[in-house]
Structure 1
Amino acid sequence: MKKTIWLPALLGVAFGLLAGIAMVSGLSFLISGTEASNAVGFYLALFLLSAALGGPLAGAITSTICVFFVSWFGPIEMKEILSDPVTFWSNVVVTGVLLAVVGFAYRLIFERVKMPVRLLAWAGTVIAYYVIQSPILISLQFYISGGVDLLSTILNSYWTYIPQAIFDVCFTSLVFIALPARYRRPLWYESKKAPEPNDSGI
């Protein structure tokens, strides 16, 4: 099997298990004035890192494994939420597809933008992920299961996602800064271009 396949797959499995453990163990923190249900968690940052470094395959595998892991080993309230087939499969499909898109986006950013400007482009990608993900996921669940106040629910979700998005941008950017230049390269394709000698960090 090609390295550009098994490495992303392995990364996706590893990050998926870590994300699942992070959710199940409650590895999160509260922003002052927010409810416990709106806690900022590490699992979404792991989703994004997996998609960026491992590509579309890794991103989809990570989110899928995490959803299954939580549905099996998570707290009772999480199991109850994911016991609804619509909620379960909409999370698997929508999140997996969008993380695959994030993987493609990071490749374009990596090839066309150098550090430190690359971090700004990456921040835009993370923000776009949240802007797009929420209405698609909520609309799909409401369309299939029914419900009211769709617009209000979407707007409220944006409000709760703000601290999570800020955390994800900061956390993943720090990871990219800390990584040696060669480890920032997406693992899912072999670039024909020589590594940039001046892209060693900030």
Structure 2
Amino acid sequence: MKLYFAPETCSFSPHIVLHELGLPFDLVKVNNQTKQTSDGKDFLTINPKGYVAALQLANGEVLTEGVAILQYLADLKPEAGLAPINGSWERVRLQEMLNFITSEIHAGLSPLFNAEIPEEVKLLFKTKLNKRFDQIENTLQRRDYLLGDAFTVADAYLFTVLQWTRFFAIDLNGWPAIAAYLERIRLRPSVQAALQREAAFH
């Protein structure tokens, strides 16, 4: 498999999961401005949507969209427990959480990167995000991870997008359970391995 990534993007979550699963893969960096890859290709020929993550399989198929990639990877090695079994009620809960992260947290933070959006509009986004953080805080006050006592692909995704808050002066220490959760995940060997492997491209 080949994972196409760009630094500080949502592609970090499947990168974490690949290390969690111990699966072999090649890592290819994408320049988000030029759309050129570190192995000399035009990324748009790999993913015409133009954004990471993209996972190229051994058979040449390319899978895009983070929540699809995360579940696909988890199902390659179900014994690792990174996603409940397909068809189970717990799997539906995972999908519910992944959709919440993508539509409320990921999509809520993304506009803050746009320099053309006025500050007063960004403040509206931040106010809505604060309410979503309150919901996550309430969940993490009751359990160590989003779905219970075990780390899942949802945690890899939430950890990844919450890293962006530091770019926008959002202090997550105001949500102590979230702050402790992020530190717990940061120390996982898979996260450290992914950070080191991406840093090798700088």
- TM-score calculated relative to the size of structure 1: 0.34
Instruction: Name the one with the larger helix percent.
Output: 1
Instruction: Name the one with the larger strand percent.
Output: 2
